[in-house]
Amino acid sequence: MRFKKEYFFCSQRLLQHIPEIQEIDICLESVKWAPEFSVDVDGQLHKYQTGYNKALDLEFAKFGWEMQPKLYESPKLIGDYRKDDIFIEVQFGNSSTIYRDYYKFHYGLTHRLLSIAVLIVPTKPKAFFPVRESKDSVSNMAEFDLASKYFKLLPIPVPILLIGLLPEN
């Protein structure tokens, strides 16, 4: 699928020389957007958000990314993927989860567990999931423009690559 990017407290030029950033691009491009997305994993059909999460798991695994990495045990601070010092969170949850992810990234940075955080969210949740059985599940979903606005307002400098998934291929 296609996507757009925005960088916070890091330069695009610097990130172009980190091979993991290219791997992220390849993984996202390998998953094709569909109005009613689903993926079959070991005979079990996963749809919508769960389907995208499972499809991305398969793609990141091909590049040897660690799945469900922990930054802290209690309370659990868990992401979706980590490789070297790149930490990724894919967020299809409520918009308030953007704050939790931001502070998770800050914790990881201050404890030298990551150097760059990556947040992946849809750009327009209702367009990204147009045939969801429950429209309420996407009405207040975390999304690119809202995350961008919050990251610009929050005073804590955390290097973040924000990626917005587009409802197109």
Domain boundaries, the chain: 3-165
Q: Which tokens sit at 11?
A: 């330069």
Q: What's the pLDDT tens digit per position in 40-71? A: 999 999 999 999 999 999 999 999 999 999 99
Mean pLDDT of the chain: 91
Check residue 139 and give its pLDDT.
76
Q: What is the dihedral of CA 143, 148, 149, 155, to 10 degrees?
A: 130
Check residue 1 and give its pLDDT.
95
Query: Which regions of the chain are under pLDDT 70?
Result: 12, 14, 132-137
The pLDDT > 90 percentage for the chain reads 73
- CB–CB of 69/79 below 8 Å? yes
Task: Compute the 3-state secondary structure of the chain and give helix, strand, coil in percent, each to the nearest 5.
Answer: 35, 25, 35
CATH fold group of domain 3-165: Restriction Endonuclease (3.40.91)
